[in-house]
């Protein structure tokens, strides 16, 4: 048995910190809560460091600890229950859901051969998938992420959730069934290329700064969605979104927009200058999903405290 000393433990944790943070984020949907859960993982790992042996890697050991910390958190947090719905869930259905800055995902490094690379592939971190995962009961959520995102074996997964392989496989099957509708609807099809993303994002930002909702409306697919969190507002379809934009883009004040990225998707950070104010203040992060050269989904997060995580100032 190999026991990690304090300095060795700290170095090993630091190596995997961002990867574990992404895992916790995927489990609970919140950057803020993922911060706390990484610290909880550290505490649990240090407390039980004498039990660590080289039968598994430090990475696998930390994933086990983090997963169980997340399971405890989700199971004891009533607000993590999303009502069942016939439609694909939106971020507004899970008011705790927050966007994850690409600048933090990039800390994992670009090497596609690294084990953590799959953990942040675009199709496994998009908001549309994260919102759908929030529908799953805690154990199903953990099994789906460990098996289908991280590529763990059935036996490894069963060990984490302290269950049999049969039970783990059953949980995976139920989780996949829950997400099947989203995949079959085409809502999880491959995303656009980055150049298309950038073009649509630029037009979206220019329209806001000019106060011209008609440009954004013209960018919308007929079946587009607009959600605003944490308020829980949701509009579906071009007509309904258009009515919301006609008021929301002009009435509050003047906008300045800054391009960024979240969840491997184009995003715009919106700074609002209200009437009578001389300063543009952090107001909203809008994460866009582009399909067929048009806007399929706009997820707006009115949480100014998210701006530092994106490396953005509180005002302009």
Name the CA dihedral angle for 177, 299, 306, 259, rounded to a multiple of 10 degrees.
120
Q: pLDDT tens for residues 227-265?
A: 999 888 999 999 999 999 998 888 889 999 999 999 999
Q: How many other C-beta atoms are found inside a 10 Å radius of the C-beta of residue 242?
A: 18
Percent over 70 (pLDDT), the chain? 84
Percent over 90 (pLDDT), the chain? 56
Predicted confidence at residue 53, as pLDDT, reads 61
Predicted confidence at residue 254, as pLDDT, reads 95
What is the rounded CA–CA span in Å between residue 14 and residue 8?
A: 10
What is the rounded CA–CA span in Å between residue 91 and residue 148?
A: 22
Does the domain at 6-184 match CATH 1.20.140.160? Answer given as yes
3-state helix, strand, coil split of the chain in percent (to 5) is: 55, 15, 30
What residue spans define the domains of the chain? 6-184, 194-310
Task: Give the H/E segment covering residue 47.
Answer: helix 31-47
Residue 96 predicted with pLDDT over 50: yes
Does the domain at 194-310 match CATH 3.40.50.2300? Answer given as no
Structure tokens at 291: 């399909």
**pTM exceeding 0.75:** yes
270 forms bridges with which residues in the sheet? Answer: 257, 284
Q: pLDDT tens for residues 38-79?
A: 999 988 888 877 777 655 678 888 899 999 999 999 988 866
What is the rounded CA–CA span in Å between residue 272 and residue 209?
A: 10
Predicted confidence at residue 193, as pLDDT, reads 62
Q: Do domains 6-184 and 194-310 have the same CATH topology?
A: no
Question: What is the average pLDDT score of the chain?
Answer: 86
The three-class DSSP label of residue 147 is helix
């Amino acid at each position: 048995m190999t026991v990690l000393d304090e300095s060795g433990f700290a170095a090993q944790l630091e190596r995997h910190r961002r990867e574990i943070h992404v895992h916790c984020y995927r489990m609970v949907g919140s950057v803020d809560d993922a911060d706390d859960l990484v610290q909880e993982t550290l505490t649990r790992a240090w407390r039980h460091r004498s039990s660590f042996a080289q039968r598994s890697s430090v990475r696998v050991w930390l994933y086990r600890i983090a997963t169980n910390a997340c399971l405890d958190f989700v199971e004891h947090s009533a607000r993590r229950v999303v009502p069942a719905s016939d439609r694909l869930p939106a971020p507004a259905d899970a008011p705790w859901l927050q966007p994850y800055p690409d600048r933090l995902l990039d800390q994992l490094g670009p090497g596609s051969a690294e084990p953590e690379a799959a953990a942040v592939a675009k199709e496994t971190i998009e908001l549309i998938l994260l919102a759908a995962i929030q529908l799953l009961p805690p154990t199903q959520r953990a099994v789906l992420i460990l098996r289908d995102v991280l590529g763990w074996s059935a036996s490894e997964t069963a060990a984490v959730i302290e269950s049999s392989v049969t039970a783990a496989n059953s949980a995976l099957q139920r989780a996949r069934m829950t997400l099947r509708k989203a995949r079959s609807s085409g809502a999880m099809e491959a995303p656009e290329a980055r150049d298309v993303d950038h073009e649509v994002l630029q037009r979206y930002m220019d329209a806001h700064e000019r106060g011209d909702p008609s440009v954004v409306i013209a960018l919308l697919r007929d079946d587009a969605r607009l959600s605003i969190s944490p308020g829980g507002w949701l509009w579906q379809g071009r007509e309904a979104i258009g009515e919301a934009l006609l008021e929301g883009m002009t009435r509050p004040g003047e906008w300045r927009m800054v391009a960024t990225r979240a969840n491997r998707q184009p995003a715009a950070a919106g700074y609002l200058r209200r009437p009578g104010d001389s300063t543009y203040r952090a107001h909203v992060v809008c994460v866009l999903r582009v399909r067929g050269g048009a806007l399929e989904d706009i997820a707006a997060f009115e949480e100014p405290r998210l701006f530092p995580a994106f490396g953005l100032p509180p005002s302009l």
